[in-house]
Chain A
């Protein structure tokens, strides 16, 4: 498999997954789903400000905000009864939140293939994670263009 360059935190996450046997990978994904921070009030009270990612098999909403200094903040909302989708969101949050806009735009869309989850999680679901990243990038691009 050709390896693509990932932002350091995301690379670390990929390494952590790679070092584990299959069974424990699901446990790690579960930890990420638990660590996904709740929405701040300004989104929790205005869910219409979030964008739905219909490619996910369970409801998933997200928003990306670009600061004045081009730092990106990410917000996700997924129900607890969809732990896999939450786990994917948790990985993206842990790996990308707080990075510079350019680092996010440079993150390869197919990075999920480096997590070693394709034997455990159906390909359709993994595409959901790629779709989240694609929508984050689009939101970042739109905000950069309008700033």
Chain B
């Protein structure tokens, strides 16, 4: 019982316009049966200060991660989580969040590992909704638990692991961190192991495209033309390329994964969620320092 797609003209240019909704579309469809809106933020308290009416909270730190192993929840854990949030396998799950949808894109990527069929992002996220003066609520909705099926996580299509990245060296890699993290400078901040890695720098061959370049001032995604200018023009990516994206723990790179996969339509993009906190700490993996790939 999927909801109708948003036919906004801007989206029509993208490869997969069905992956986005506008704030207008959402305002119109709030409360529709078959729709669940979920907020996923970098700041774990932001939802509590007020959220889109009826939205549930999806917390990356406490809900999407396995509490012990550095990994995501398994199929049973995901089914339990979706059930608690009142989400069925048929639900149109619309995600939004703070900071250009950074964490919302991460949550969407994790949900993709479980193949949830209808996942969409709100273009512009929380910031745009608020900037337009739309209503917020502090009421936490209680939805009846659902019978979400246990679907095993598929780590083969959109997720990359360290050894796969090692074998990938020489093919396109995008490091979406800030330039300081990319060159390795940021690890030299005194008394503060900010990036949680013992070595600073990047994966050899990786090109640096900070993730937020894909977002406009109002937190919406840049137009197809602008995105092509960055990823195809500057970096030289081609749609048929096998691409791996990474950042510090895989959150910011989920945003770039979304852009490459759903907006530009590149079919072979994987997110390396081990990212720099794994690579920069691993014994005997090669790294590169400085501005050159």
User: Are the C-beta atoms of A82 and B48 separated by less than 8 Å?
Assistant: no
Q: How far is the CA of A133 from the CA of B44 in the complex (A)?
A: 21
Q: How far is the CA of A26 from the CA of B41 in the complex (A)?
A: 14
Chain A residues near B191: list those with CB within 8 A.
134
Contact surface of A with B, Cβ cutoff 8 Å: 26-27, 29-30, 33, 54-55, 57-58, 80-85, 87, 119-122, 124-125, 127, 131, 134
User: Are the C-beta atoms of B48 and A55 separated by less than 8 Å?
Assistant: no
B103: shortest Cβ distance to chain A, in Å? 11
Chain A residues near B98: list those with CB within 8 A.
81
B241 within 8 A of A: no
* 8 further interface pairs, Cβ-Cβ under 8 Å (given A83-B49, A84-B43): A26-B44, A26-B45, A27-B48, A80-B49, A85-B43, A120-B44, A122-B44, A134-B191
Chain A residues near B67: list those with CB within 8 A.
119
Contact surface of B with A, Cβ cutoff 8 Å: 42-46, 48-49, 61-62, 67, 98, 189, 191-192, 194, 196
Q: List 24 A-B contacts (CB under 8 A).
A: A26-B44, A30-B45, A30-B48, A33-B45, A55-B192, A55-B194, A57-B42, A57-B43, A58-B43, A80-B49, A81-B43, A81-B46, A81-B98, A83-B45, A83-B46, A83-B49, A84-B43, A85-B43, A87-B45, A121-B61, A124-B194, A127-B192, A131-B192, A134-B191
Give which listed residue, A30, A80, A120, A134, contacts B62 with CB less than 8 A: A120
A-B CB contacts (within 8 Å), total count: 46
A67: shortest Cβ distance to chain B, in Å? 28
Chain B residues near A120: list those with CB within 8 A.
44, 61-62
Interface class of chain A by DSSP: helix
Chain B residues near A85: list those with CB within 8 A.
43
Which chain B residue has the least Cβ–Cβ distance from A87? B45
A20: shortest Cβ distance to chain B, in Å? 14
Which chain A residue has the least Cβ–Cβ distance from B42? A57
User: Are the C-beta atoms of B62 and A84 separated by less than 8 Å?
Assistant: no
Chain A residues near B48: list those with CB within 8 A.
26-27, 30, 83
Chain A residues near B43: list those with CB within 8 A.
57-58, 81-85
Chain A residues near B62: list those with CB within 8 A.
119-120
